[in-house]
């Protein structure tokens, strides 16, 4: 690459973009780890985007109508840290840049949204950024349609690398964005032809331009080091309003460094001589971490360019009616509407009275039918299982190119893309996303589910058909380890409600979280109402509670969740008839029970009685409640699954796998 | 659709393909569940493929040189059951067909490879079939190059639906197949424009033909009900030897039924009147489950068409040298070479002597360097982390279009596609696949990892960078719940070796499995050799064992895995110095320990001493060993992770998260 020619063609731009390059080189060298090549290669694109196009006000990174910038190729984190520092972000100071990848620094190895307001989402696991950005763009379209262009009117810009495009989830994202004509989404592909193992062609020869076009995208191909071409391409992309845009930016990874165009350039460039030589070639004479004053002040001007736009926006917002302003503020803050709790209470009361026998997936739909009309910031959807997941309610409308106000998304057979996009919707602010699939397909959505937990996104994953109770579809579709998977994940609520009332309570908790995603584990099969006595209090909030206490001397405690609470109750009937005092504890949410005070937990699970856990799933994790919490090995047993399931009618499976009331009762007898 | 015209155009073909339709209708109606529309829609394609092209001998479904048939759209399982019954498969009898989806039947809701020999793999989770088929095709290319065309010379045929193509993993598969020019792979796309939620266009408008072409596929578009067009397309596809082929078959789901071309047609068609009407329209007058003799005998002839080819193949095999025949038989049976155990033993001895301090990912490479030359049926690879996963050894060569004998695959940034393809390689027979990625990306590979366990495929997942010990890359890359995820999964071995010797033992076990996949959880950071005294026995086979016993009165047992065994050993030093007799138990494989006799487990974990578990991961699952197995709540503690990790150097993270020898020692002191 002829660096001299680049420098001479656009000398001022060159120094401004090279400020990113120099900071990257210095920070990675100081940390002795990180990824130098990508920020160096994409510095030109980022400079043009941030200085000429992106709507932001560096001092006010949470301004709701800012353009969103997603660094899908998150390993190039020094790109965003450089940009933020240069533009004057109050949180990403020079000290933070110098502290790159150190304990307590905001400048983590990969961008973490909880470390700085200007970081829209956590990226690093490849493909997540581009996939969540689809959700950001959907949120913008939906909110613009609802609240008006005067307060919602922005773009979502994404930088994605070859890795993002090779991850399968990107195909799901591309398909969704193309289908829904997300014209405000602009993806820059850092087309540098290098991955960790070598040239991209080593493992992939896909024509990416043709691939994006096949899904209805507007595509341009440019020299990613030519600021004029970059500028023109962004302008053109913004003008296309009915298609998402992809700009293929031909770049050189680690531009101007000895490692340019090599896979070595992807990683940490820490050779001092080579780095000095690269800076010399770039014409960069400033010291380590030093930015020439003219360059810094130009960048700060770029960073404050949006201030007047922001002020104008604030004026427009102030011009709305009080009611509209309050509603906008409420949804952007993620606060639930006041009506939510009264609606849930009324629903609980009504169902405690009518005591329907319904699958909890159906109960979930019944809850949503009363919640969605009063909580209009919900966006529902399903990965092509709408009728099975029961996620669609009458009032929602369908989100489509012709109806941007629609609140239901047909995600297609794309569990992973759906989960990632839901994260994006939630992260954007102003909306709450929930979406359904079969619980066994937690596996497909996992990378995005974990990211929801890590980046503190209150996405709601509606996972129906949650056990062998789904019957004939067989072991591929029957979750065994999936409760354990989500329960083992930090910062995730896993709800397995036992009936319609618990389902309502679980939804209430899920929909009022601000930093914790929820998994709703729901049955295919019908379940009786067990909570027959109405209580205003949300009992699921305690995580576990005494559903039915022992009559007479308390000799046994049965702990169960979801569909197996009914079995525990039947086992209790058998045991009580034999004079064995038996308590049933419903445990709809382990994480919430764990968070209760010891005194409460002790009241629910006192020492002494024998304990049997009942759950149509793996025992893995149950010992905490059976052997721990004052339990004892010799006085604890579990009735559940020890293998994968099988294909047969549900009742047969419960019988064959021994998950029966009689079996539970026998375990109790055996231990007494 | 003009059924009459179809019938008249090819009357004999029509009746033969309609035998599939009728059986499907009857079996689904009898089960009152299942998916009728797909087998009805794809009956013509399947009939032409199975009768005119597919090389198989119905009575000998395990013939190694058979063509492979993968029903990626596994919900259409009645298609394959019908085909097998009609063609005379000895296992899929008419009784089995009548028992569709019932307990104990081979005819499960989705095809399960462990229920019938002719079912090549378990399908149902969408996208898995098409992705594993890439592995089948790679295996065929590789084995053909090695063993010669006279014994390996077959095709892999796949039927995929819209769901398979929408799943992201299909893009990974398409990319891999295109890159490696897998000319023996032929995918039929059941282009019926219907998904569960409605028309495909509801959620996707991707031009699939353009998409496949973008990745280098040969693509044809045909009327999927025209037997001549189907025949011609298959012939053309077979002739293309340097590109995989996709045949887009325009079909009508539930052809000729009232539910034709609707999403209702996707599911179970159980309305008796409509079914009767459909049969009448088809011209099908036979009774329920009845196949006219002429049709059945034609199908049986098709099923035995391959018998002479098989006999010729057997003669060719018999013509090979004894050594070659034995080797072929050995690898097809999945037997490890005799030399393996002696090579492993020598390696262990050498390293017990030299006591290197190496990361277990490096130790793994050292093992592979001695194993791969004697176990040439291994196929290694990595999802673009070759240098980090240490999966490539000097002797392997690179699998490529120019070198089909190469045993290392650059899978690209496609963890899921890699895992699925590895399953396919293993399922094909004759090869053993292992492949690497970062352990946190277990999440990406999960659907295929679960399927490996369910369908009993001994794939080896090399998961490096297995804790916060990876350091600066931060929480997105640091596994916390991933040990729990794989441990909670039935039929999966999770190995977390503590040093180079345990790593060798783990590999030996993994490479000798026939029905169980293995996860190798390996460190990024260096670890000392702890097994300093050579033992011929494989201690990892016991799952857990006493690494260092207490001196003096045994007051504490420290249980640890992998990198934390070193910490436990240091804690033991501290405690012993204080006169507290401390045993260290290394637990490299919980599943194997669980399988030991009670007497052995009791010897390792006796009642009495306090216990501390040490693992840089979630506690989830640990209570089995801490509170169970004679443990007690008041005398047990855990040192590990209670949250996601962070970005900082590894040593800092261990310190900050409190995973230190001193902390372990303190927990012991607190409980004594």
CATH of the domain at B620: 3.40.50.920
> Which pLDDT score is estimated for A441?
98
Query: Quick one: A387 and A270 in the same domain?
Result: no
Residue A512's pLDDT is 98
The predicted structure's pLDDT at residue A86:
98
Active centre residues of A (catalytic):
415
The nearest alpha carbon in chain A to B389 belongs to A197
pLDDT at A1 over 90: no
Residues of chain B with pLDDT under 50: none
Q: Which residue of B has its CA nearest to A161?
A: B413
Number of structural domains in chain B: 3
Query: Is residue A332 assigned to a domain?
Result: no
Residue B327 covered by a domain: no
Cβ of A488 within 8 Å of Cβ of B621? The answer is yes
Which residue in the block uniquely carries the two structure tokens 């397909």? Answer: A441
Torsions phi, psi for A380 (to 5 deg) = -100, 170
Contacts of B442 (CB under 8 A, 6+ apart): B449, B461, B463, B479, B482, B485, B486, B519
B294 marked as part of a ligand binding site:
no
**What end-to-end distance do the CA atoms of chain B give, in Å?**
80
Is B192 assigned a ligand-binding role in the annotation? Answer: yes
Residue to test with chain A: of B104, B127, B131, B167, most A Cβ within 10 A: B167
Asked if the structure places residue A323 within a domain, the reply is no
Q: What percent of chain A has pLDDT over 70?
A: 100
Question: Which residues of B participate in catalysis according to the annotation?
Answer: 415
- Give the full edge-to-edge strand order of the sheet including A460-464: A408-410, A378-382, A432-438, A460-464, A518-522, A493-495
Give the per-residue pLDDT at A257.
Answer: 97
CB atoms within 10 A of CB A373: 15
Q: In the prediction, which pLDDT does A57 show?
A: 98
Residues B547 and B523 in one domain: no
- The answer to whether the CB atoms of B197 and A384 lie below 8 A apart is yes
Q: Are both B583 and B642 inside the same structural domain?
A: yes
Token pair in block for residue A556: 């046994």
Q: With CB atoms and an 8 Å threshold, state whether B175 touches A206.
A: yes
d(CA A421, CA A136): 7
Residue A79 parent element (H or E)? helix A77-87
Angle between helices B11-31 and B77-87 (to 10 degrees): 120
**pLDDT greater than 80 at residue A85:** yes
CB contact under 8 A, A443 and B446: yes
In a domain, B318, yes or no: no
Q: What is the mean pLDDT of residues A198-222?
A: 98
Contacting residues of B for A213, CB less than 8 Å apart: 210
**Beta-carbon pairs below 8 A across chains A and B:** 356
For residue B384, being part of any structural domain is answered with: yes
The yes-or-no verdict on residue A89 having pLDDT over 90 is yes
* β pairing state of B185-191 and B156-160: parallel
Of B310, B326, B354, the residue at which a domain comes to its end is B310
- A201: DSSP letter: G
Question: Which residue range is the domain that position A107 belongs to?
Answer: 3-310
Read off the pLDDT band of A34 (50, 70, 90): very high
Token readout for A46 is: 């980022």
Question: What length is written for chain A?
Answer: 672
Same domain, B306 and B350: no
Name the minimum distance, in Å, from the CA of A42 to any CA of chain B: 20
Give yes or no: residues A142 and A7 share one domain: yes
User: Is A317 annotated to bind ligand?
Assistant: no
Q: Write the pLDDT tens digit of every residue in A111-122.
A: 999 999 999 999
Question: What secondary structure does DSSP assign to B40-76, as a single string?
Answer: HHHHHHHHHIIIII----TT-TT-TTSPEEEESSGGG
pLDDT digits (tens, 9 = 90+) for A649-671: 999 999 999 999 999 999 999 99
Q: What is the per-residue pLDDT for B36?
A: 97
Q: Is A310 annotated as a binding residue?
A: no
From the candidates B400, B481, B519, which should be mutated to test the interface with A, based on the most A CB atoms within 10 A? B481
Express each pLDDT in B61-115 by its tens digit.
999 999 999 999 999 999 999 999 999 999 999 999 999 999 999 999 999 999 9
Q: Are residues A349 and A284 in the same domain?
A: no
- Residue where a domain terminates, one of B527, B562, B585: B527
B360 lies in the same domain as B442: yes
Identify whether residues B394 and B295 lie together within a single domain.
no
The predicted structure's pLDDT at residue A473: 98
Task: Write down the pLDDT at residue A146.
Answer: 96
Minimal CA separation from A50 to chain B, in Å: 26
CB contact at 8 A, B496 and B564: no
> Which chain B residues are within 8 Å of A203, Cβ to Cβ?
175-176, 179, 384, 410-414
Report which secondary-structure segment, H or E, holds B501: helix B500-510
Q: What is the mean pLDDT of residues A511-540?
A: 98
Do the annotations mark residue B473 as ligand-binding?
A: yes
pLDDT the model gives residue A447: 98
Q: Does a structural domain hold residue A646?
A: yes
Is A154 annotated for ligand binding?
A: no
* Angstroms from A294 CA to nearest CA on chain B: 33
Q: How far is B604 from chain A (nearest CA, A)?
A: 17
Which residues of chain A neighbour B630 with C-beta distances below 8 Å?
633
Write down the pLDDT at residue A394.
Answer: 95
**Looking at the predicted structure, is the pLDDT value of residue A329 above 80?**
yes
One domain, residues A219 and A166: yes
Are A282 and A382 in a shared domain?
Answer: no
A410 shares its domain with A514:
yes
Residues in B closer than 8 angstroms to A471, CB to CB, are 33
Q: Could you tell me if residue A610 is inside a domain? A: yes
**Mean pLDDT value of segment A219-243:** 98
d(CA B40, CA B76): 9
Write the secondary structure of A142-191 as one string of H (helix), E (strand) and C (coil).
HHHHHHCCCCCCCCEEEEECHHHHHCHHHHHHHHHHHHCCCCCEEEEEEE
The secondary structure of residue B649, as a DSSP letter, is -
Distance from CA of B309 to the nearest CA of A (A): 35
Task: Look at residues A615, A623, A626, A611 and name the one whose alpha carbon lies nearest to residue A654.
Answer: A615
pLDDT of residue B42: 98
pLDDT tens, A262-303? 999 999 999 999 999 999 999 999 999 999 999 999 999 999
User: In angstroms, what is the C-alpha Rg of chain A?
Assistant: 28
- Contact check, Cβ <8 Å, B205/A488: no
Q: Choosing among A413, A415, A468, A631, which should be mutated to test the B contact, i.e. which has the most B CBs within 10 A?
A: A413
| Domain of residue B149, CATH code | 3.40.50.970
| pLDDT on residue A349 | 98
Residues B231 and B123 in one domain: yes
A563-577 helix and A661-671 helix, angle to the nearest 10 degrees: 50
Q: Is B319 part of any domain?
A: no
Strand partners, A520: A462, A495
């Amino acid at each position: 690459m002829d660096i001299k020619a680049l420098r001479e063609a656009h000398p001022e731009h060159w120094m401004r973009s090279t400020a990113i390059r120099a900071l990257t080189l210095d920070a990675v060298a100081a940390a002795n780890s990180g990824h130098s090549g990508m920020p160096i290669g994409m510095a030109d694109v980022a400079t043009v985007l941030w200085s000429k196009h992106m709507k932001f006000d560096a001092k006010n990174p949470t301004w709701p109508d800012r353009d969103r910038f997603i660094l899908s190729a998150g390993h190039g984190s020094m790109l965003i840290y450089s940009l933020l520092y240069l533009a004057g972000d109050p949180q990403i100071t020079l000290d933070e840049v110098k502290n790159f990848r150190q304990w307590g620094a905001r400048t983590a190895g990969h961008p973490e949204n909880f470390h700085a307001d200007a970081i829209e989402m956590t990226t690093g696991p490849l493909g997540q950024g581009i996939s969540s950005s689809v959700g950001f763009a959907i949120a913008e379209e939906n909110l613009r349609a609802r609240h008006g262009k005067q307060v919602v009117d922005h773009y979502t810009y994404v930088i994605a690398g070859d890795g993002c495009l090779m991850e399968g989830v990107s195909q799901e994202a591309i398909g969704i964005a193309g289908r829904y004509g997300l014209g405000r989404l602009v993806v820059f592909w850092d087309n540098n032809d290098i991955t960790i193992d070598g040239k991209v062609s080593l493992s992939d020869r896909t024509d990416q331009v043709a691939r994006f076009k096949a899904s209805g995208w507007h595509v341009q191909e440019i020299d990613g080091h030519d600021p004029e071409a970059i500028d023109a391409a962004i302008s053109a992309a913004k003008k296309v309003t009915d298609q998402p845009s992809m700009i293929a930016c031909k770049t050189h990874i680690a531009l101007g460094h000895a490692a340019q165009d090599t896979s070595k350039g992807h990683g940490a460039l820490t050779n001092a001589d080579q780095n000095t030589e690269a800076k010399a070639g770039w014409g960069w004479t400033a010291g380590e971490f030093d930015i020439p004053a003219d360059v810094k002040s130009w960048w700060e001007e770029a960073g404050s360019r949006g201030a007047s736009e922001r002020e104008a926006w604030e004026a427009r917002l102030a011009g709305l009616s009080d009611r509209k302003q309050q509603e906008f503020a409420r949804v952007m803050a993620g606060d639930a509407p006041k009506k939510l709790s009264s609606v849930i209470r009324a629903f609980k009361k009504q169902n405690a009275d009518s005591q329907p026998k319904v699958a909890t997936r159906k109960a979930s739909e019944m809850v949503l039918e009363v919640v969605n009309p009063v909580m209009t910031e919900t966006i529902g959807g399903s990965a092509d299982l709408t009728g099975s997941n029961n996620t669609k309610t009458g009032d929602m409308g369908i989100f489509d190119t012709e109806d941007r106000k629609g609140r239901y998304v047909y995600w297609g057979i794309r569990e992973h893309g759906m989960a990632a996009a839901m994260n994006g919707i939630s992260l954007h602010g102003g909306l709450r996303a929930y979406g359904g699939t079969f619980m066994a397909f937690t596996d497909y959505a996992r990378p995005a589910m974990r990211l929801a937990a890590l980046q503190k996104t209150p996405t709601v994953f509606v996972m129906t058909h949650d056990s062998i109770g789904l019957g004939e579809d067989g072991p591929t579709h029957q979750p065994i380890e999936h409760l354990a998977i989500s329960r083992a994940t930090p910062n995730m609520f896993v709800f397995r409600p036992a009936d319609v009332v618990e389902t309502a309570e679980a939804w209430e908790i899920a929909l009022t979280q601000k930093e914790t995603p929820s998994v709703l584990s729901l049955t295919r099969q019908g379940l009786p109402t067990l909570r027959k006595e109405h209580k205003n209090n949300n009992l699921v909030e305690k995580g576990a509670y005494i559903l039915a206490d022992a009559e007479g001397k308390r000799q046994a405690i049965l702990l169960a969740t979801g569909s197996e609470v009914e079995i525990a109750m039947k086992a209790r009937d058998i045991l009580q008839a034999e004079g064995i005092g038996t308590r049933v504890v419903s445990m709809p949410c382990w994480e919430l029970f764990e968070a209760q005070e010891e005194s409460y937990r002790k009241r629910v699970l006192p020492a002494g009685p024998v304990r049997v856990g009942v759950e149509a799933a793996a025992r893995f994790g149950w010992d905490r409640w059976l052997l721990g919490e004052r339990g004892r090995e010799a006085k604890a047993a579990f009735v559940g699954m020890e293998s994968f399931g099988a294909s047969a009618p549900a009742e047969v499976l419960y019988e064959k796998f021994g998950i029966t009331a009689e079996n539970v009762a026998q375990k109790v007898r055996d231990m007494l």
